[in-house]
Chain A
Amino acid sequence: MEFLSYLISGISLGSVYAIIALGYTMVYGIAKMLNFAHGDVIMVGGYISICATSYLELPGWLSVLLAMAVCTVLGVVIEGLAYKPLRQATSLAVLITAIGVSYFLQNAALLIWGASPKGFTPIIPATNAQGEPNALPLFGGQVSISYISLLTMGACIIIMLALTFFTGQTKLGKAMRACSEDKGAAQLMGINVNRTISVTFAIGSALAAVAGVLLCSFTTSLMPTTGSMPGIKAFTAAVFGGIGSIPGAFLGGVLLGIIESLAKAYISTQLANAILFAVLIIVLLVKPSGLLGKYVPEKV
């Protein structure tokens, strides 16, 4: 039963990683760039949500929508100002710019909200007004799943399915895949490549906002650097599952959460992150394109 509860907490943590990883993988898949500032957009999403609930006294769900809206705009602005001028530049230049944007966001948050951690009220509190836990008891109460965990898992699955549908069935989604393969040829089809990339950043950033609110609901505190570690882990998850692949990001995220949770429980709390990245190295040695990464032979 103890194992089961560790597993559950691993899956819900993993679901947050998966949502972040989905954003990473979308942007990587289409723009072929690693947006290292993605983790910091999560942090901004968290702060917007705090501001919405504490200053504007909006309900939790509305604060999520507000955070999504702000992060979407932020993502598109970042892309337009920082990455678009570098479309023809080497990928190293873009990568370094992304790291720069990451520091910029962290320091801007430091200026605006200060360095001390801010308390975050989870969108579903741990206990209800009567002091009973907001959780679903299983096996006669031996194990329980908190509602926030259920919400996180549900959100993650819905987002994954929605993105799969979007890229597989809609015109804009297919255009994104076309851009991801060959921007020049996509342009010859009449696809506006710049606009498509902007839309991708908008989607990725909106997902980052959702992830931010859910992440802070677990950690219940927020600092300007909160986003960077989950960002790196989600990046790991995306690579683990096969970067560019939507189901891969989902699988990678969930597995990473489970590994982290079990490693913390049974091996060592301090070593958990080391174990996590060791697993990544092993997977990449055995399967360089990640768990679900595709290898498509090219014919000439």
Chain B
Amino acid sequence: MLKVNDINVYYGAIHAIKGVSFEVNDGEVVTLIGANGAGKSTTLNTVCGLLKSRTGSIEFLDKNLASIPPHKIVELGMAHVPEGRRVFQQMTVEENLEMGAYTQPRVSIEPNLERVYEQFPRLKERRKQVAGTLSGGEQQMLAMGRGLMSNPKLLMLDEPSMGLAPILVEQIFDIIKQLHKAGTTILLVEQNARMALSVADRGYVLETGKIVATGTGDELLHDEAVKKAYLGG
């Protein structure tokens, strides 16, 4: 579904991503793990077109994304739930969800809303509430719900557990498992490596802009080097 081939991304003179390649197949949950500054979010932002790679290619559903502007990439069926949630604080929950369905025809908004409310009953209770007044966990649910509103073929989640209480982290990962079961393809970026690997089919370990290890979720969970560096021994 998604094929990233040898991308190199720079912030001015800083070489942030150094020849990263990976792929995500239909129905998989794939995770990119790594420490702060390893280039996880940069990779996601490059995939969705916000940043440009100087080399290589990114193919989504057999289309090269190089010359497609970010707002068109959404139309192809890629949804990106950004780091830090970035919900529209001054808009209501329902308006936020409607924005998620911006590229969708009007008729599909209603059923999508129903589906998202079923997944996140909390959001339904608060649909007329302004998003800025939601708690951190609710905002994360809203951000994920907003991503799902576009019927994405690929859902990219950037640090969904960041800044959440442990119980909420559990909840968010439960939702990821449910989405996986329902057949959604997910690319998950996480610092919480243990959680991420436990839900993922496959994982890639990023270190200072390079992929240093790859394998199934289980393999990486039991890999000595990964254990030492990311799972606390």
Contact = CB atoms under 8 A, between A and B. Distances in A.
A296 B82 contact: no
Nearest to B74: A190
A198 to B, nearest CB: 14
A191 B102 contact: yes
Contacts of A185: 82, 86-88
A192 B103 CA distance: 10
Contact of A189 (B50, B102, B135): B102
Nearest to B48: A188
A298 interface: yes
**Which 5 A-B residue pairs are closest in the complex by CB-CB distance?**
A190-B74, A190-B103, A185-B86, A296-B132, A189-B102
A189 B78 CA distance: 10
A57 interface: no
A177 interface: yes
Nearest to B156: A188
9 contacts: A174-B98, A175-B102, A184-B82, A184-B86, A190-B71, A190-B150, A296-B89, A299-B136, A300-B136
A185 B158 CA distance: 13
Given A177-B88, A181-B88, A186 B70 contact: no
B132 to A, nearest CB: 5
Interface string B86-104: 1111110001001110110
Which of under 10, 10 to 19, 20 to 34, or 35 or more describes the interface residues of B?
A: 20 to 34
Interface of A: 171, 174-175, 177-178, 181-182, 184-193, 294, 296-300
Given A191-B71, A299-B135, A182 B102 contact: no
Contacts of B133: 297, 299
Contacts of A182: 86, 88
Interface in B136-161: 136, 139, 146, 150
A189 B152 CA distance: 11
B154 to A, nearest CB: 13
B175 interface: no
Interface of B: 48, 50, 69-72, 74-75, 79-80, 82, 84, 86-91, 95, 98-100, 102-103, 130, 132-136, 139, 146, 150, 163
A188 B133 CA distance: 22
Contact of A299 (B90, B102, B132): B132
Nearest to B132: A296
Nearest to A188: B80
A174 B97 CA distance: 11
Given A296-B90, A300-B84, A186 B132 contact: no
Given A181-B90, A299-B139, A171 B50 contact: no
Contacts of B91: 174, 177-178, 181
A189 B102 CA distance: 6
Contacts of A191: 71, 99, 102
B163 A296 contact: no
For A185, A187, A190, the residue with the greatest tally of chain B CB atoms inside 10 Å of its CB is A190
A181 B146 CA distance: 16
A296 to B, nearest CB: 5
For B74, B88, B130, B134, the residue with the greatest tally of chain A CB atoms inside 10 Å of its CB is B88
A192 B88 CA distance: 16
A294 B133 CA distance: 14
Contact of B146 (A177, A184, A189): A189
A88 to B, nearest CB: 13
Contacts of A181: 88-91
Contact of A174 (B69, B86, B95, B139): B95
Given A189-B146, A296-B90, A300-B136, A184 B102 contact: no
B90 A189 contact: no
Nearest to B149: A189
Given A185-B82, A299-B133, 10 more contacts: A174-B95, A178-B88, A178-B99, A182-B86, A184-B50, A184-B82, A189-B103, A189-B150, A191-B99, A294-B90
Contacts of B135: 299
A299 B95 CA distance: 18
Contacts of B139: 299
For B70, B84, B99, B150, the residue with the greatest tally of chain A CB atoms inside 10 Å of its CB is B99
B130 A296 contact: yes
A97 to B, nearest CB: 24
B107 to A, nearest CB: 13
For A177, A189, A294, the residue with the greatest tally of chain B CB atoms inside 10 Å of its CB is A189
A190 to B, nearest CB: 3
B50 A187 contact: yes
Contacts of B69: 192
